[in-house]
Chain A
């Protein structure tokens, strides 16, 4: 079922949680609402679920499959909601939790007891908790609780699945496993799904489309690759992955050589290369190595330009690190492969050729 919401405004007391937010999710998609805490992403989710309502007379509308559901109460929207802290009923067994929605149906729609039991069994298998139906939530691990919450949310076959920080309370390992599992799960049942997260890696890896929020507004919408490669604002580039930020003393992709006071230059650490030549080309920066951290295939090198205090990072392969034989304290040349200049309210993107010539990318 497709979801459309537009002109959403929400204030809590004096605090503006949503300021004219509109989103559209086509049927069957997996969409992530991404943003720092306080950006309003959870509020959007709760409004879609009917757990909050847009401000009165603000014109906010929520449509499911073309139907206006703005004033439909939560229980009648056909939405499955997974709460951040799961909100499992602690005094009920796992099976009772999962069957709650089915048992709560009006008598003539309610499945028979046998059908409910069968459905619970099926769901337990689906979320890989076979045989744990008689446990209580307190007897389960965090990841297991998460999957119970998921099974409970989809038991009544909702047409929309909403998840609030679904992996927030889990440790790193479980989080990664569950993430992959959720992706496969969603592909299997093809349910329109929206999840909220503040973890950009999670959003980029999992979602078909990412909605990035900041300060009660939407900052950018698009497929993960696109928002990562073509950020629309300094906020987005800084929020999505590591980036080095230079405000002075480096050449940019514009005609002006120095960027002093004119804009900010952004360079991803993996677009930074380290060379031993003293001056490979005119944009190379002489820098001193402050710190080297290597784990896995990549090494992260922290450097400082000569004459400047702000540190920046380069990400190079382990092989390259060995080849260059870098040591803390050594002075090296740094060249950029790809740079973005933000000036006059827009980005100018350039590739840097080996001879130092800039090629603008549009």
Chain B
């Protein structure tokens, strides 16, 4: 045994006595000053000051000019389009996203892994690329658009398209360069949010709770409605809010498919861009303030919802 007989024999330097006066660093893990300092500086320079610029500039407008800019007819109409269509798209995603998340976590079928991987495509695919791809699909002559649009004179459609078309053409739905087009683009970009919010919750969902419900004599529908759904509601709402928040700010994928007609299919981000192109900075800034306030509010709502979802998760564990 080569251990020293007594710790005193180690001959190691004794612990340096530290009797410093005043404040001492009492954080166990080092690096607080460095990382916190860097983080705050970076965020201040790149996020806080630039965002403050928008509010300061709009404050410079004066209340009357500001109000005039944000309530201009074109702007107000764009809010209706942006918020209305975004809500519809987020709702669609809440419903279909739930089904997708459910199928991906509960069932095993061929192609499940592939579909699971593809769900993130709208995160990874640049919005401009998504925009032109969706436009190509849903335009009058696109693979999907042809089912909805009566072909122009002299254009031949396949028998299948014509057969389906006899039911869909008379409806007069325009799948591109219309509000429907915006809805399609916003549904695309919001798709992952609900799925990815729900998936981990469904995976962690305790089967015993369902089995308990079943053992108490409840049927599947009853277990689903009274046991499963209530504990998923905060997560569904979180996913909905995230998809909605993303949709109201979306620009790239929408402008290709929307047609961008003022007072018709113009979204609010485009109003800002057009104002910038016209060098109408007051209007751009004022409308941006409206958008920012909406985004902040949504961020707040998402935070509250997430806390709610976590508290349910903890109560269950």
Within 8 Å by CB, do A and B touch in the complex?
yes
Q: Which residues of A contact B (CB under 8 A)?
A: 1, 27-28, 50-53, 56, 64-65, 67-74, 76-78, 122, 157, 159, 188-192
A126 to chain B, nearest CB (A): 8
Residues of B within 8 Å of A77, CB to CB, are 15
Contact (Cβ within 8 A) B2 A122: yes
Chain A neighbourhood of B6, CB < 8 A: 28, 190
Question: Interface readout for B1-13 with A: 1 if CB under 8 Å, 0 if not?
Answer: 1111111101010
Residue of A whose beta carbon sits closest to that of B17? A67
Roughly how many angstroms separate A190 CA and B19 CA in the complex, as a whole number? 29
A157 touching B26 by the CB < 8 A rule? no
- Minimum Cβ distance to chain B for residue A118 (Å): 9
Q: Which residues 1-41 in B have Cβ within 8 Å of A in the complex?
A: 1-8, 10, 12, 14-20, 24, 26, 28, 30
8 sample A-B contacts, Cβ–Cβ < 8 Å, listed by A number? A1-B7, A68-B19, A74-B28, A77-B15, A157-B4, A157-B12, A191-B7, A192-B7
Supposing A67-B17, A68-B18 touch, asked if A188 and B3 sit within 8 A by C-beta, the answer is yes
Chain B residues near A189: list those with CB within 8 A. Answer: 3
Q: Which residues of B contact A192 (CB under 8 A)?
A: 7
On whether the beta carbons of A64 and B15 are closer than 8 Å, the reply is: yes
> Whole-angstrom distance from the CB of B2 to the nearest CB of chain A?
6
For B30, list chain A residues within 8 Å (CB).
Answer: 73
Which positions 168-220 of chain B face chain A at CB distance < 8 Å? none
With A157-B7, A190-B6 in contact, is A78–B12 under 8 Å at CB?
yes
Query: Which B residues lie within 8 Å of A64 (CB)?
Result: 15
Nearest CB of A to B12, in Å: 7
In the complex, chain A residues whose CB is within 8 Å of the CB of B15:
64-65, 67, 69, 72, 76-78
User: In the complex, what residues of B have CB within 8 A of residue A65's CB?
Assistant: 14-15
Minimum C-beta distance from B5 to chain A (A): 7
Tell me the nearest residue of chain B to A161, going by C-beta. Answer: B7
Q: Is the CB of B7 within 8 A of A159?
A: yes
Within the complex, what minimum Cβ distance (angstroms) separates A83 from chain B? 13
Chain A proximity of B27: nearest CB distance (Å): 9
Whether B16 contacts A72 by the Cβ 8 Å rule is yes
Q: Which residues of A contact B4 (CB under 8 A)?
A: 157
Query: How far is the CB of A194 from the nearest CB of chain B, in Å?
Result: 14
In the bound complex, CA of A31 to CA of B42 (Å)? 49
Q: Which residues of A contact B19 (CB under 8 A)?
A: 68
Q: How far is the CA of A43 from the CA of B302 in the complex (A)?
A: 36
Instruction: List A contacts of B7 (CB < 8 A).
Output: 1, 27, 157, 159, 190-192
Give every chain B residue within 8 A of A53 (Cβ-Cβ).
26, 28
Query: Which one of B3, B5, B10, B17 contacts A68 once the chains associate, using CB atoms below 8 Å?
Result: B17
Docked Cα-Cα span, A346 to B200, in Å, equals: 56
Most buried by A among B1, B8, B15, B20: B15
Q: Which 7 A-B pairs have the closest CB atoms?
A: A53-B26, A71-B24, A159-B7, A67-B17, A189-B3, A72-B18, A71-B18
Set of chain B residues within 8 Å of A1, measured between Cβ atoms: 7-8
Name A160's closest neighbour in chain B (CB-CB). B7
Q: In the bound complex, what is the Cα–Cα distance between A159 and B8 (angstroms)?
A: 8
Contacts of A190 in B (CB 8 A): 5-7
Closest CB in chain A relative to B287 CB, distance in Å: 43
Minimum Cβ distance to chain A for residue B161 (Å): 58
- Report whether A56 and B26 are in contact in the complex, using a CB–CB cutoff of 8 Å: yes
From B20, which residue of chain A is reached at the shortest CB distance? A71
Excluding A76-B15, A157-B3, 19 further A-B contacts by CB distance (< 8 Å) are A1-B8, A53-B28, A65-B15, A68-B18, A68-B19, A69-B15, A69-B17, A71-B18, A71-B20, A72-B15, A72-B16, A72-B18, A73-B30, A74-B28, A157-B7, A157-B10, A159-B7, A190-B5, A190-B6
Chain A neighbourhood of B26, CB < 8 A: 53, 56, 71
A275 CB → nearest B CB, Å: 49
Bound Cα distance from A261 to B249, whole angstroms: 72
A77 CB, min distance to chain B CBs, angstroms: 6
CA distance A256 to B4 in the complex (A): 60
Task: Report the separation of the CA atoms of residues A192 and B6 in the bound assembly, to the nearest whole angstrom.
Answer: 10
- In the complex, are the beta carbons of A52 and B28 less than 8 A apart? yes
CA distance A188 to B7 in the complex (A): 12
The answer for the CA separation of A17 and B258 in the assembled complex, in Å, is 61
CA distance A56 to B12 in the complex (A): 31
Closest CB in chain B relative to A161 CB, distance in Å? 10
Q: Is the CB of B28 within 8 A of A51?
A: yes
What A residues does B17 contact at CB under 8 A?
67-69
**Shortest Cβ distance from residue B144 to the other chain A in the assembled complex, whole angstroms:** 49
Contacts of B1 in A (CB 8 A): 188
How distant is B8 from chain A, measured CB to nearest CB, in Å?
8
Which residues on the A side are within 8 Å of B10 (C-beta)? Answer: 157, 159
User: How close is A299's CB to chain B, nearest CB, in angstroms?
Assistant: 38
User: Which chain A residues border B8 with CB–CB below 8 Å?
Assistant: 1
A70 to B15, CA, bound (A): 12
Contacts of A76 in B (CB 8 A): 15-16
B25 to chain A, nearest CB (A): 8
State the Cβ distance, A109 to closest chain B Cβ, in Å: 8
Contacts of A51 in B (CB 8 A): 28
B278-305: contact bitstring with A at CB < 8 Å (1 yes, 0 no)? 0000000000000000000000000000
Cα separation A77 to B1 with both chains bound (whole Å): 25
> B15: shortest Cβ distance to chain A, in Å?
6
Task: Note all chain B residues with C-beta closer than 8 A to A159.
Answer: 7, 10
- The distance in angstroms between the C-alpha atoms of A105 and B169, with both chains bound, is 78
Which among B10, B14, B28 has the highest number of chain A CB atoms within 10 Å? B28
Q: Are A67 and B28 in contact (CB under 8 A)?
A: no
A294 CA to B210 CA, complexed, in Å: 40
How far is A67 from B5 in the complex, measured between Cα atoms in Å?
22
State the CA gap A157–B10 with chains docked (Å): 8
For B24, the chain A residues whose CB sits under 8 A away are: 71
Residues in B whose Cβ lies below 8 Å from that of A188: 1, 3
A232 CB to nearest chain B CB (Å): 32
Closest A residue to B19 by CB, please name it. A68
Using CB atoms, name the residue of chain A closest to B2. Answer: A122
